[in-house]
Amino acid sequence: MKIKTIEYENFRNFKDYGKIKCSTDGRLTVVYGKNGDGKTTLHQLFQWVFYGQIKFNKTTTDTLYNLALNDEKNYEDRFDVWGRIEFEHDGSNYSLTRTHTYKKGIDSTDKISEDFSLQKEDNEFNWKRVDRPNEAVERMLPSGLAEYFFFDGESMIADLRVKGRDSASKLRKAIYSMFDLDIVESALGHIGKADLKSTVIGKLYISKGTTVSSGSDISSKMTNIEMSQNKIEKAKEDIAKEENERKKQKQTINEISEKIGSTKSKEEYEEKRQKYVKERDAFIEKTKEDMQAFGNTIIEKYPQIIISKVVNDAKNKLKLKVDSERLPEGVNKRLITYLSSMNTKKCICGNTLGVAERSRIKRYQEMLPPLSYSSTYQDFKKTVERWKTDYDKDELESKIRAVISDQEFAHNRDRDIINLDEEEKKSGDIEDLIIARQEATDKVTELDESLSARKGLLDKLNLFLKQEMKKFDELTEKNEASQKASAKIEIMELVAQVFTNKLNIAAEEYSKKLQGTIQNLLDVMLTSKRKVSVSSDFTVRVTDSYNDESKSEGQFAVVSFAYIGGILKMIRENEDLKEKEFPLVLDGPFSKLDADQRQNVVDMLPELASQVIVFSKDDLHDVLKEDYVGNIYTITSNEEKNIAQVEEGKLWT
């Protein structure tokens, strides 16, 4: 598949219609955008059009329509959120359109309908609607792999750093989906076990006693078994809920701890601010000294430069005034001196000279240079001739450079102070963070106690179930129904064994393969040596020579690229998938990479997929090879960041 265009209207902050033409000739499409302009939104638009699902981050709402447009609408007005992707796949052109229609109500705006259509262009260039568009899209671009085709580097880093187990589970899910192992896993769930009542084996097991009459021992055991199965199911649900809550609290603790680690106390901020202020003032002082030194050198060695400046200034000033105030021809210093004398009562033209006239004449006088132009200029020329041979360009330039450099230092420190103030404003009070962490820790302790009690109960229930099942087995041993059920259970257990073996072998094979591909990519992209290991549950670990896991965000960013690279390589090597082309739409964490890493990663992009569309807030043009750059777009946004648009070309640096 190669994406040719993506169009949209009224999707989140993209209020107006817009269209991006993607390069399909192997070159890179780049969409630039600053923080908050809507890169991630546009990146998610791809997934929304293909699958109708998107994952917004916690800080944003899940409203799809543009809020500004909604505000403009009247009560009962209807409007659409719309996206279309045109692509080619296996030599045919397709057009995929998703539309949600909303109606504005008094209190809320609600979705009233949605449409999803896929059209295919036939040999006669007619567009025909494809039946079951979801299935067709699924075949062309499996949704199980969506997170990897539409790769959000930032959230992958967060997953890798904070939620190792979650990213492993996502990866396992994706790989299972890629190789149809999800089907085997689902089958195993359905076959189940004797103690799971809604599964095949669970139902077969209980059917051992179906032929007996009520009130018998067998019947009572059956009731006990079913009741304890219900209780076990409920206990497991409660445990899962609490474990999930515990995981969230643990995650909160980690996030707060990271924040605390990077949050300075008020004293630290003040100390740093004072340091910056002191440095800035020192540079300002130094700038003044440098300027003074420069002035002294000029006056001492090159007075002609001053003279030249005076002449030029006067010329410019006069020219300007002649133009704007129409200074009459023939006005000279002598005439003005005569006119401005208190003894002169009348002008040469006959008009009386009052206070206003005298003041105006005085202004003309101030405009004129101290000497006549010609004499000043002649003096200047002579001086220049005389000094010309002694003119020391390097000396003057070095003094100018010193002034500029000190000014820059002072300016940088000024900016550091502003940034520090901003950072302090944004960072929560460290005390609040510590309290929040303590609350989360207390909650974990509380959950641990509750979980321990629930697990104890579950153990007891399981034990009781086991005992009841044993008695049930003994009582039903000789029943015909029981013998039949046992034979069926035996068959299903063999089937389950085949599926389990298949899964284990595949998990082992694919995790090792992935480990190899990620390691190869990391060796190329990372400047320092790191070892990758992918366990059979698809947990990825990247360790240094001391077997410590990497901590730096930059390294995680590189790992995230290697991660997606490794997965895409596996897709390309898969027998069923290798004939297909998949695009890579990448919201890349380039800013987290240092210069070398960025160059290495960018150099790898052409190898990741035959079509790569990159969203970036960082200028990549210095690291991209010229012949690899295809279409370029920039997202621009209004100050409130609620209306964005895409324009062709790179509009900012």
Partner 1 sequence: MSKSSDEIVDEMIVFIEKEEKDLQAAKRANEKGTRTDIVNRILQKLDTEMGDEN
Nearer to partner 1, 192 or 589 (CB): 192
Report in angstroms how near the CB of residue 491 gets to partner 1 at its nearest.
5
| Cβ(334)–Cβ(359) below 8 Å | no
Query: In 10 A of CB 137, how many CB atoms?
Result: 23
Nearer to partner 1, 131 or 323 (CB): 131
Report in angstroms how near the CB of residue 489 gets to partner 1 at its nearest.
10
Nearer to partner 1, 422 or 493 (CB): 493
Nearer to partner 1, 187 or 291 (CB): 187
Report helix angle 480-525 to 164-178, nearest 10: 110
Nearest to 43, CA basis, from 87, 71, 99, 3: 3
The enclosing H or E element of 501 equals helix 480-525
Report in angstroms how near the CB of residue 494 gets to partner 1 at its nearest.
5
| Cβ(88)–Cβ(4) below 8 Å | yes
Q: What is the DSSP letter of 52?
A: S
Report in angstroms how near the CB of residue 465 gets to partner 1 at its nearest.
20
Report in angstroms how near the CB of residue 190 gets to partner 1 at its nearest.
6
What is the 3-state composition of the chain as percent helix, strand, coil, each rounded to the nearest 5?
A: 60, 15, 25
Nearer to partner 1, 182 or 279 (CB): 182
Nearest to 138, CA basis, from 195, 180, 168, 170: 180
Strand partners, 637: 644
Nearer to partner 1, 168 or 204 (CB): 204
- Measured distance CA(31)–CA(613) in Å, rounded: 8
- Measured distance CA(94)–CA(372) in Å, rounded: 80
Report in angstroms how near the CB of residue 454 gets to partner 1 at its nearest.
24
Strand partners, 127: 121
Interface with partner 1 (CB under 8 A): 132, 134-135, 138, 143, 180, 182-184, 186-187, 190-191, 198-200, 203-204, 484, 487-488, 490-492, 494-495, 498-499
The enclosing H or E element of 87 equals strand 78-89
Nearer to partner 1, 299 or 491 (CB): 491
Query: In 10 A of CB 166, how many CB atoms?
Result: 14
Nearer to partner 1, 206 or 440 (CB): 206
- Measured distance CA(538)–CA(507) in Å, rounded: 8
In the chain, what is the greatest distance between 2 CA atoms, to the nearest angstrom?
A: 144
Nearer to partner 1, 53 or 57 (CB): 53
| Cβ(545)–Cβ(529) below 8 Å | yes
- Measured distance CA(351)–CA(349) in Å, rounded: 6
- Measured distance CA(110)–CA(413) in Å, rounded: 51
Report in angstroms how near the CB of residue 243 gets to partner 1 at its nearest.
22
Report in angstroms how near the CB of residue 55 gets to partner 1 at its nearest.
18
SS3 49: helix
Nearer to partner 1, 196 or 410 (CB): 196
Nearer to partner 1, 138 or 379 (CB): 138
Nearer to partner 1, 143 or 450 (CB): 143
Residue 63 makes CB contacts below 8 A (sequence gap 6+) with 12
Nearer to partner 1, 180 or 289 (CB): 180
- DSSP state string for 332-350: -HHHHHHHHSTT--B-TTS
Report in angstroms how near the CB of residue 229 gets to partner 1 at its nearest.
15
Residue 523 makes CB contacts below 8 A (sequence gap 6+) with 529
The residue count of the chain comes to 653
Both tokens assigned to 529: 């040596």
| Cβ(376)–Cβ(306) below 8 Å | no
Strand partners, 587: 152, 615
- Measured distance CA(599)–CA(287) in Å, rounded: 38
